[in-house]
């Protein structure tokens, strides 16, 4: 049969999970490097600890579940969950914070649901959301950008003491500043946006550090798009909707709301759009579904930021849309070729019967 | 009319193999909402036990007089009467705890575990088995509630037995112990943590059951495996 030997040159073999996850890890490098440049060694201790815990906990759970350990670990997915959670946490988080987050992510959100491919929720974001709800104080202590602190920046030794949990919260509080979104969210009610920026409650240049981090994540995201590890639908839909809703808020009340650019680059939106929302397991699968899913996340982020209690909302928005994924997939299932005609035929017959 | 089961089996069902919280998953609303500390859990457990015992007794007493058509309203009236008793008793003797538990005391009326026992057991059985069933089911529910309260208090706030004087009088004022100072794991203090802890307890019970079953089968290898399907009454062999 000649049909059996059809030319395969136009079809692409789906990449192995390990390769996909490997490229994801490569793509996080610019973002993590920029974060480290601006926020110090604490970013690296976070990522290293979370990644090691991710692999360790996954191995332990696989043993408990009597599944093959080495082949499953080789797909790198636990490593990716660890790196993503580590990059989301405030730099220099204490080990116990990272441990609780990774237990929630790998043990509960991933392995208890049946492992990679069976988790309805994004593991890293389950860990992050649990930490944010449980430990609001350590989760809001972002170190001020090191370039601004100058000689008082934390040395590696000090970061390690912080990591070991030996630094009391009061000292941490003095060393850290709020993220731009946090500071803007908690500005006094009477203060106008223009006054807020003129008064510079953020250290000069803190916002530009955040912009650079967002652009570094964007670079990694573009690499993923170029390598076709992720589709364009989710990140574009998410960022476009976020910008649109931010523009609506800004247009309605420019004196009190942040500008769309501030919301686009000031927080975790770019990171979330390219690295979190695109998780192939917990995201919607069809093309139209991905557009809806991304748009939903963008809209939810921009509803929670100005109206909710938390300054940033990528984790909550992603988890909420994870809930909606089965519904989205159900209604956006691509039509199987040839089936619409069959349906028309049945309908016509039914009509004739009715007459 | 079904056969009257042996009292030992009634007790074993209520406490373990048909535990309302871990197997039937009934009465989850108070279980999840109130089990934040040992004293809250114990308070609600005692109130539920009282109501369950009373309603099983009363339902069993009137089981020949109430026609099947009106049985549900009758059961609900009986349960509501006992809940009101429990509520008034708590308001009289443990007023602080009564205020803490708030709406969850009147809500015992809607605890399906109680109506379930009235319908499935007490309305078909004589007085003594019904009373045993009420007592054991109440104890089984209460044990899970208190265990959950202890877990959440210990790992959520780092303490155990704080505020026991609210329930047991001034003598218990010094019972509170601080195990982990400065611990504040909000997730476990809030209701989602109760869902999580309940899930872990159910898993633990299943593990224990599995081990016991395997040991039993190792002793008598020819026993056919029981059906895994969920059944409310009896077992399929």
User: pLDDT by residue (tens digit) across A275-316?
Assistant: 999 998 999 999 999 999 999 999 999 999 989 888 888 999
Q: Do B190 and A135 touch (CB under 8 A)?
A: no
The enclosing H or E element of B194 equals helix B191-219
Residue B1 in any domain: the answer is: no
Is A172 found in the same domain as A31?
yes
Residue A141 in any domain: the answer is: yes
Which two tokens mark B11?
Answer: 């007790």
Residue A337 in any domain: the answer is: no
Q: What is the total count of domains within chain B?
A: 1
Note the pLDDT of residue A193: 76
Quick count: other Cβ atoms within 10 Å of Cβ B117?
28
Is A173 found in the same domain as A111?
yes
Q: Do B185 and A133 touch (CB under 8 A)?
A: no
Q: Give yes or no for residue A154 having a pLDDT over 50.
A: yes
Note the pLDDT of residue A202: 63
Q: Mutate which of A66, A121, A127, A130 to disrupt the B interface (most B C-beta within 10 Å)?
A: A130
Residues A32-38: what's their mean pLDDT? 92
Rounded to the nearest angstrom, the minimum Cα separation between A268 and chain B is 23
Q: How far apart are CA A255 and CA A192, in angstroms?
A: 5
Is A217 found in the same domain as A170?
no
Higher pLDDT pick, B226 / B166: B166
Chain B contact set for A96 (CB, 8 A): none
Q: Do A134 and B186 touch (CB under 8 A)?
A: yes
Confidence of residue B1 (pLDDT cuts 50, 70, 90): very low
pLDDT > 90: what percent of chain A? 51
Q: Do B186 and A108 touch (CB under 8 A)?
A: no
ipTM for the complex shown: 0.76
Residue B2 in any domain: the answer is: no
Note the pLDDT of residue A236: 96
Chain A: residue whose CA lies nearest to B156: A134
CA-based nearest residue to A206, from A182, A174, A171: A182
The answer, for A133 touching chain B at a CB cutoff of 8 Å, is yes
Rounded to the nearest angstrom, the minimum Cα separation between B196 and chain A is 9
Q: Give yes or no for residue B21 having a pLDDT over 80.
A: yes
**Region of poorest pLDDT, from A18-22, A339-343, B192-196:** A339-343
Q: Are B25 and B116 in contact (CB under 8 A)?
A: no
Is A34 found in the same domain as A93?
yes
Is A166 found in the same domain as A215?
no
The pLDDT tens digits for A171-218 are 666 666 667 888 788 777 777 777 777 766 565 567 888 899 999 999
Higher pLDDT pick, A342 / B47: B47
The answer, for A135 touching chain B at a CB cutoff of 8 Å, is yes
Residue A254 in any domain: the answer is: yes
Residue A186 in any domain: the answer is: no
Residue with tokens 């349906």: A343
Residues A344-351: what's their mean pLDDT? 51
Q: Give yes or no for residue B157 having a pLDDT over 50.
A: yes
Residue B136 in any domain: the answer is: yes
Tell me the range of B1-10, B137-146, B164-173 where mean pLDDT is highest: B137-146
Confidence of residue B180 (pLDDT cuts 50, 70, 90): confident
Residue A243 in any domain: the answer is: yes
Residue A9 in any domain: the answer is: no
Q: What is the total count of domains within chain A?
A: 2
Which range marks the domain in which residue B69 is found?
A: 7-218
Q: Give yes or no for residue A121 having a pLDDT over 90.
A: yes
Q: How far apart are CA A41 and CA A38, in angstroms?
A: 9
Rounded to the nearest angstrom, the minimum Cα separation between A130 and chain B is 7
Higher pLDDT pick, A149 / B207: B207
Q: What angle do CA A39, A42, A45 make, to 5 degrees?
A: 145
Strands (E), chain A: 142-143, 176-177
Chain B contact set for A133 (CB, 8 A): 186-187, 190, 192
Residue B235 in any domain: the answer is: no
Chain B: residue whose CA lies nearest to A168: B182
Q: Give yes or no for residue B210 having a pLDDT over 70.
A: yes
Q: What's the whole-model pTM score? A: 0.83
pLDDT > 90: what percent of chain B? 42
Q: Do A108 and B196 touch (CB under 8 A)?
A: yes
The enclosing H or E element of B159 equals strand B159-160
Q: How far apart are CA B184 and CA B161, in angstroms?
A: 16
Q: Mutate which of A134, A136, A137 to disrupt the B interface (most B C-beta within 10 Å)?
A: A134
Note the pLDDT of residue B31: 84
Rounded to the nearest angstrom, the minimum Cα separation between B94 and chain A is 31
Is A213 found in the same domain as A172?
no
Note the pLDDT of residue B2: 58
Rounded to the nearest angstrom, the minimum Cα separation between A98 and chain B is 14
Is A233 found in the same domain as A162?
no
Note the pLDDT of residue B29: 83
Which range marks the domain in which residue A322 is found?
A: 207-332
Chain A: residue whose CA lies nearest to B186: A134
Note the pLDDT of residue B161: 87
The answer, for A130 touching chain B at a CB cutoff of 8 Å, is yes
Q: Are B102 and B33 in contact (CB under 8 A)?
A: no
Displacement of CA A346 from its chain's centroid (Å): 46
Residues B139-161: what's their mean pLDDT? 91
Is A272 found in the same domain as A128?
no
Residues B84-108: what's their mean pLDDT? 91
Chain A contact set for B192 (CB, 8 A): 133
Mean pLDDT of chain A: 85
Residue B224 in any domain: the answer is: no
**Region of poorest pLDDT, from A206-220, B51-65, B73-87, B165-179:** B165-179
The answer, for A108 touching chain B at a CB cutoff of 8 Å, is yes
Residue B231 in any domain: the answer is: no
Mean pLDDT of chain B: 87
Is A253 found in the same domain as A142?
no
**Region of poorest pLDDT, from A116-130, A207-221, A332-346, B16-30:** A332-346
Per-residue 3-state assignment (H helix, E strand, C coil) for chain A: CHHHHCCCCCCCCCCCHHHHHHHHHHHHHHHHHHHHHHHCCHHHHHHHHHHHHHHHHHHHHHHHCCCCHHHHHCCCHHHHHHHHHHHHCCCCCCHHHHHHHHHHHHHHHHHCCCCCCCCCCCHHHHHHHHHHHHCHHHHCCEECCHHHHHHHCCCHHHHHHHHCCCCCHHHHHHHEECCHHHHHHCCCCCCCHHHHHHHCCCCCCHHHHHHHHHHHHHHHHHHHHHCCCCCCHHHHHHHHHHHHHHHHHHHHCCCCCCCHHHHHHCCCHHHHHHHHCCCCCCCCCCHHHHHHHHHHHHHHHHHHHHHCCCCCCHHHHHHHHHHHHHHHHHHCCCCCCCHHHHHHHHHHHHHHHHC
CA-based nearest residue to A282, from A49, A44, A132, A77: A77
Tell me the range of A96-100, A180-184, A266-270 where mean pLDDT is highest: A96-100
Is A211 found in the same domain as A161?
no
Which two tokens mark A240?
Answer: 């476009």
Chain B contact set for A100 (CB, 8 A): 185
Q: Are B156 and B33 in contact (CB under 8 A)?
A: no
Q: Give yes or no for residue B45 having a pLDDT over 90.
A: yes
Confidence of residue A2 (pLDDT cuts 50, 70, 90): very low
CA-based nearest residue to B90, from B44, B53, B145, B39: B44
Say what the alpha-carbon torsion angle B85, B86, B92, B94 is, to the nearest 10 degrees.
180
The answer, for A134 touching chain B at a CB cutoff of 8 Å, is yes
Crossing angle of helices B112-120/B127-152, nearest 10°?
160
Chain A contact set for B186 (CB, 8 A): 133-136
The pLDDT tens digits for A55-95 are 999 999 999 989 998 888 888 899 999 999 999 999 889 99
CA-based nearest residue to A301, from A333, A263, A247: A263
Rounded to the nearest angstrom, the minimum Cα separation between A136 and chain B is 9
**Region of poorest pLDDT, from A150-159, B17-26, B31-40, B157-166:** A150-159
Is A249 found in the same domain as A109?
no
Note the pLDDT of residue B89: 93
Distances (CA, A) of B39 to B35, B53, B98, B165: 9, 21, 11, 9
Q: Are B104 and B44 in contact (CB under 8 A)?
A: yes
Is A217 found in the same domain as A166?
no
Higher pLDDT pick, A217 / A2: A217
Which two tokens mark A134?
Answer: 């449980």
Rounded to the nearest angstrom, the minimum Cα separation between B190 and chain A is 9
Q: What angle do CA B214, B196, B101 make, to 5 degrees?
A: 120
Which two tokens mark A119?
Answer: 């988790």
């Amino acid at each position: 049969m000649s049909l059996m030997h059809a030319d395969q040159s136009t079809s692409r073999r789906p990449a192995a999970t390990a390769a996909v996850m490997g490229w994801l890890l490569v793509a996080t490098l610019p973002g993590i490097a920029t974060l480290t440049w601006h926020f110090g060694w604490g970013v690296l201790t976070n990522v290293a600890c979370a990644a090691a815990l991710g692999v360790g906990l996954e191995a332990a759970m696989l043993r408990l579940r009597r599944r093959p350990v080495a082949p499953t670990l080789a797909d790198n997915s636990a490593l990716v969950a660890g790196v993503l959670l580590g990059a989301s946490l405030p730099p220099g988080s204490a080990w116990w914070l990272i441990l609780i987050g990774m237990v929630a992510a790998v043990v509960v959100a991933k392995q208890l649901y049946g492992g990679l491919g069976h988790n309805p929720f994004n593991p890293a974001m389950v860990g992050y959301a649990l930490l944010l709800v449980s430990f609001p104080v350590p989760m809001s202590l972002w170190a001020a950008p090191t370039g601004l602190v100058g000689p008082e920046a934390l040395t590696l030794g000090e970061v390690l003491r912080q990591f070991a949990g030996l630094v009391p919260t009061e000292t941490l509080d003095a060393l850290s500043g709020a993220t731009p979104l946090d500071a803007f969210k908690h500005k006094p009610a009477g203060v106008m946006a223009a006054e807020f920026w003129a008064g510079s409650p953020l250290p000069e240049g803190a916002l530009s550090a955040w912009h650079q981090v967002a652009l570094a994540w964007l670079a990694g995201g573009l690499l993923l798009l170029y390598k076709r590890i992720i589709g364009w639908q989710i990140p574009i839909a998410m960022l476009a909707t976020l910008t649109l809703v931010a523009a609506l808020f800004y247009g309605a009340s420019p004196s009190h709301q942040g500008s769309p650019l501030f919301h686009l680059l000031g927080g975790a939106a770019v990171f979330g759009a390219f690295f979190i929302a695109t998780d192939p397991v917990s995201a919607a699968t069809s093309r139209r579904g991905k557009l809806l899913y991304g748009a939903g996340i963008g809209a939810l982020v921009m509803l929670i930021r100005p109206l909710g209690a938390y300054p940033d909302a990528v984790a909550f928005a992603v988890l909420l849309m994870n809930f909606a994924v089965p519904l989205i997939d159900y209604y956006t299932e691509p039509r199987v070729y040839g089936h619409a005609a069959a349906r028309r035929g049945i309908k016509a017959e039914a009509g004739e019967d009715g007459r | 009319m079904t056969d009257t089961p042996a009292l030992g089996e009634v007790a074993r069902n209520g406490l373990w193999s048909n535990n309302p919280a871990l197997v039937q998953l009934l009465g989850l609303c108070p279980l999840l909402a109130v089990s934040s500390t040992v004293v809250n859990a114990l308070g609600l457990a005692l109130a539920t036990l009282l109501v369950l015992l009373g309603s099983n007794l009363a339902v069993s007493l009137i089981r020949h007089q109430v026609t099947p058509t009106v049985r549900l309203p009758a059961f609900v009236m009986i349960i509501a009467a006992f809940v009101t008793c429990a509520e008034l008793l708590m308001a009289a003797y443990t007023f602080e705890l009564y205020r803490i538990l708030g709406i969850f005391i009147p809500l015992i009326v809607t605890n399906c575990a109680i109506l379930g026992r009235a319908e499935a057991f007490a309305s078909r059985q004589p007085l003594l088995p019904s009373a045993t069933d009420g007592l054991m089911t109440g104890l089984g529910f209460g044990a899970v509630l208190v265990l959950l309260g202890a877990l959440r208090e210990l790992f959520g706030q780092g303490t155990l037995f704080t505020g026991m004087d609210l329930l047991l009088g001034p003598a218990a004022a010094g019972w509170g112990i601080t195990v982990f100072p400065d611990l504040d794991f909000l997730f476990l203090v809030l209701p989602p943590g109760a869902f999580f802890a309940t899930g872990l307890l159910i898993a633990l019970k299943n593990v224990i059951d599995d081990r016991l079953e395997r040991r039993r089968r190792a002793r008598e290898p020819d026993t056919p495996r029981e059906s895994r399907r969920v059944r409310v009454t009896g077992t399929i062999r």
